[in-house]
Structure formats: structure tokens, C-alpha cells
Amino acid sequence: MIDVGDEERRARPWRVRRLRRTGAAMASLALALSLGACEAIPGLPGSGTDEETSSPTAAEPMDPTAVAAAESTPVDPSWLCRPGEEEPPVESTAGGTLTPRAVRADGNVLEVSGPFHLEADHHYRGFAPVGVLVPADPENRGIPAPGFDGELGVAGAPTPPIVVRERVEVPGDGPAPSAATARLTLGTCDDSPLPDGQFLLRLSGGSIDGPGRGEDDAGWSADGDVLVDVVGGDVEVVPGAVTAPSGEVPVDLSPLHCGAELAPLGGGGDELSVQVADPTTEVSTLVPEDELGISVTAQVTVTSPDLGTRALFQGVVLTNPATGTVVAGARNTPAIALQWIDEDGVTRTGRTWTSRGACGPAALRPGEYQAHAFAATVDEDGATRLVLSEPWTVEVLEEDPAP
């Protein structure tokens, strides 16, 4: 055990994790790596005879199932747990690039897979991943939290709350694999349970010779931080997102465009729930002199049995009840933010202007309209889902609404 002081141990309540996330993540992993026939990895179980694998003639992708079946090697995280006392395991990461495309999580084991590229004049000597997990900024899920955005493992640097304790090391000497899988077992410096929260995994590794065989060792790095959650002490993937440098992911909000027919998108099975509180039911066409305009508002709460980070956008939209088409509150954004959903869900004030910015005329004409609260999210396959609340009637009046 690595002793870093009397840091308080936090016991986290067990929360039931839905199996569909793991299943979808595994399916995504298989799809992302089905670039061609996956040859077995030299030196791993099921890899065949030495004669068959000692002299590879092509840069085949690693087989994720072989990596998962391989024995893990202990990792000493002292360089992170006692910053400044140990040298970082990899000094240069300019020799190659891993592009994360798929993530799978099970308990405290994390697997990241994707295309692997070796720079010219570098020589592959195996795959030994190094992982550093830092807390994510809650205001921008794609960047580290303040204090963790500098160099780690040096004197004065903070100690990450999660470190890598074991990894699968893949031996090799020859062409680099066209796709690689990093399998890491996570833990803490003091062997306490994994803390709940949002994290970013920064992957790198060594076992690469620099230009000129036998010259200085080099390494590789991932070209994006991998999004990771811990819920109930277990590692979780983020549905619909592997990396997100901006803290946002692409979304299809075409059902919310001006004039579009409002309808749920993506089918059922997500169990996302949208509730409305304090909805506006009457508005006037008369705008007070001291206000910017008139709007329909409601408190929109989105809940899910799957806690953790997900792409989420919520609000209020108005439709013409005769046609079901959007007349106010249209949304055209191409990307939405990643948010943390806890037991209480996420509550935001949804606002739809009726006196300006409406579809068609500058303001809505007097009459009755239908209002919906909505929640847009992105599932494990990257497809947009749009969930609607029960509608309520909003009346636009030519005079001031009743008090």
C-alpha cells in the first residue's frame, strides 16, 4: 500500500448499474475495431505458436478479447502519489498516436481502443499504456478541473484521486498494430474505494525506440482525453461520447427547428423522464416598457436511472395545435453540453420568447398554443433522442393576462 497521509476514506453507497450501458459499450467496441480480421497478439493467450507470430508481416489490429484475457502487470503509481519523488515513466510521447474510438468499463477495469499510428523512423517494441486520471471541470466536461490542468507527478503538483494500479502489457518487435487496446485496472493511492465523479483519462505509453534503432526511447500519446465517470464506486462510460475537448457533442435537433413537426426522436428504452413545474399558461402581446419581452417559462427537470455524465439539453417549445409544428422556442444548435445527472436529476428554467424571435412573424399572434418541455440527449451509439413532456395550453392575449 502506498501511504500518502491520513486522507479521509470515502465509502460510497452501492448503486445498481444498468446492464444496457455495458452491453452497448461492448457492441460499440466490437464495431469500432471490426476494421479487418483481428489477428491474435504475440505473447498473449490464444496467440498461436511462436513460429506463427514471431515475425509479423503486416500491421494487424490488436484483438481486444486477447487483451482482456491477458494477465495484468502491477503498476507503481508512486510518481503520482508522491509528486516530485519519482520520475514520470515516459518522458517523450512524440513517437506515436492512439485515437480513442471505443471504451468499455467493468468495475474498476477500463479498456480504451482505437487506431494506432507510429511516426516515421520510430520502432515498435510493444504496448505499455500509462494512464493518468484527473477530475473534469464541472462547467466544461472536456477540460481538467482547476489545479489539475498543469503537469502532474512533479513537485508541488496535486495527487490525482484515481491512479492506475495494473495494466496489460503487450510485447512486440516489428510493425506497430494498426489498432490498439489499453486495458487498465484503476485504484487509489491509499487503496480506498474509487471516488464518485467525472474524470478525464490521459493515455500515453512507452516501449518505442526513437529515430535510429537503439536510440533514445520514445513513447506515444492519445490525441484526446477519454471521458470517464465513477458512479457507486464503479467506472462508467459516458453514453454517446468518448472524447469531447469542448465539453460538447454533436446533436440532431431537427425536430426543434422552425416549422418542423414536433415529435419524439429515437424511440423508447432510455427511461429519461421530463417533468414540468410552474408553467406559464397565459401571456400578453403587450410588452412592458421596462422589460425585454414576454416569454413562456417553466422549471424543467430531467431524471434518469443511469446516473453520471451524459449529453443533455432541456427547454420549452411552443407549437401550433392545428399542425403540430414549432412556432416559438426553436433550437438550431449543432452540439449540446455534457452534464452530470445525480439522484435529483437536472433542473433548468426553460424560456420561450413569444413577443420576439418567434418563427415567421416577429411575435406570436393572439390565440391558443401547445407548450412542451423537452430533453435532448445522445445515446451510446451517438444517436440523438428527444423526449417530450405532457403538453399544456398557453393562451396569447391582446391584453394583460389575468393576475
Per-residue model confidence as pLDDT tens digits over 41-97: 444 434 443 433 333 333 789 999 999 999 999 999 999 999 988 888 877 777 889
Whether the CA torsion 180, 196, 193, 105 is positive or negative: it is: negative
Domain final position from 222, 240, 258: 240
Report the percent of the chain where pLDDT is more than 70. Answer: 81
Residues 171 and 290 in one domain: no
Residues 35 and 166 in one domain: yes
Averaged confidence pLDDT in the chain: 83
Print the SS3 string covering 374-387.
EEEEECCCCCEEEE
Instruction: Give the dihedral of Cα atoms 45, 47, 51, 55; nearest 10 deg.
Output: -120
Mean local confidence (pLDDT), 362-374: 93
Q: Cα 224–227–229 angle (5° rounding)? A: 160
Report the CATH number that the domain containing residue 377 is assigned in CATH: 2.60.40.2550
Per-residue model confidence as pLDDT tens digits over 156-193: 999 999 999 999 999 888 888 999 999 999 999 999 99
Per-residue model confidence as pLDDT tens digits over 268-285: 556 889 999 999 999 998
Q: How much is the pLDDT for 210?
A: 67
User: Which residues is 307 bridged to in the sheet?
Assistant: none
* Residue 236 to residue 104: CA distance in whole angstroms: 8
* Residue 189 to residue 116: CA distance in whole angstroms: 30
Q: Is 31 helix (H, G, I), strand (E, B) or coil?
A: helix
* Residue 50 to residue 195: CA distance in whole angstroms: 43
Range of the domain at 200: 19-240
The beta-strand segments (E) located in 210-272 are 217-222, 226-231, 234-236, 248-250
Whether the CA torsion 48, 50, 53, 57 is positive or negative: it is: negative
> C-alpha grid cell for residue 260?
418542423
Strand (E) or helix (H) holding 110:
strand 109-118
Q: How much is the pLDDT for 401?
A: 65
Residues 209 and 273 in one domain: no
pLDDT at 315 over 80: yes
Residues 136 and 265 in one domain: no
* Residue 349 to residue 363: CA distance in whole angstroms: 21
Residues 232 and 258 in one domain: no
* Residue 44 to residue 296: CA distance in whole angstroms: 62
Q: Is 397 helix (H, G, I), strand (E, B) or coil?
A: strand
In a domain, 120, yes or no: yes
Mean local confidence (pLDDT), 313-334: 95
Residues 194 and 222 in one domain: yes
In a domain, 9, yes or no: no
Q: Helix, strand, coil % (nearest 5) of the chain?
A: 10, 40, 50
**Residue in 321, 155, 129, 311 with CA at minimum distance from that of residue 238:** 311
Residue type (1 letter), 322: A
Q: How much is the pLDDT for 150?
A: 87
| CB proximity list for 65: less than 8 A, separation 6 or greater | none
The total of structural domains in the chain comes to 2
The beta-strand segments (E) located in 120-178 are 123-127, 129-137, 140-144, 162-167, 170-174
Residues 296 and 337 in one domain: yes
In a domain, 6, yes or no: no
Query: Of the given ranges (103-107, 127-131, 236-240, 289-293), which has the lowest mean pLDDT?
Result: 289-293
Residues 76 and 197 in one domain: yes
Burial of 119: CB neighbours in 10 Å, binned 0-12, 13-18, 19+: middle
Residues 331 and 188 in one domain: no
Domain final position from 240, 265, 281: 240
In a domain, 278, yes or no: yes
Per-residue model confidence as pLDDT tens digits over 106-152: 999 999 999 999 888 888 888 999 999 999 999 999 999 999 988 89
In a domain, 12, yes or no: no
* Residue 392 to residue 360: CA distance in whole angstroms: 22
Residues 147 and 276 in one domain: no
Per-residue model confidence as pLDDT tens digits over 12-48: 332 333 333 444 444 444 434 443 333 444 444 344 4
Q: How much is the pLDDT for 31?
A: 38
Per-residue model confidence as pLDDT tens digits over 208-229: 776 654 455 678 899 999 999 9
Residues 166 and 294 in one domain: no
Check if the beta carbon of residue 372 is closer than 8 Å to that of residue 275: no
Instruction: Give the dihedral of Cα atoms 355, 357, 363, 365; nearest 10 deg.
Output: -110
In a domain, 141, yes or no: yes
* Residue 351 to residue 357: CA distance in whole angstroms: 12
**Residue in 96, 236, 109 with CA at minimum distance from that of residue 178:** 96
Mean local confidence (pLDDT), 290-308: 92
> C-alpha grid cell for residue 162?
484515481
Q: How much is the pLDDT for 132?
A: 95
| CB proximity list for 18: less than 8 A, separation 6 or greater | 305, 306
Residues 80 and 224 in one domain: yes
In a domain, 7, yes or no: no
Domain final position from 208, 240, 272: 240
In a domain, 402, yes or no: no
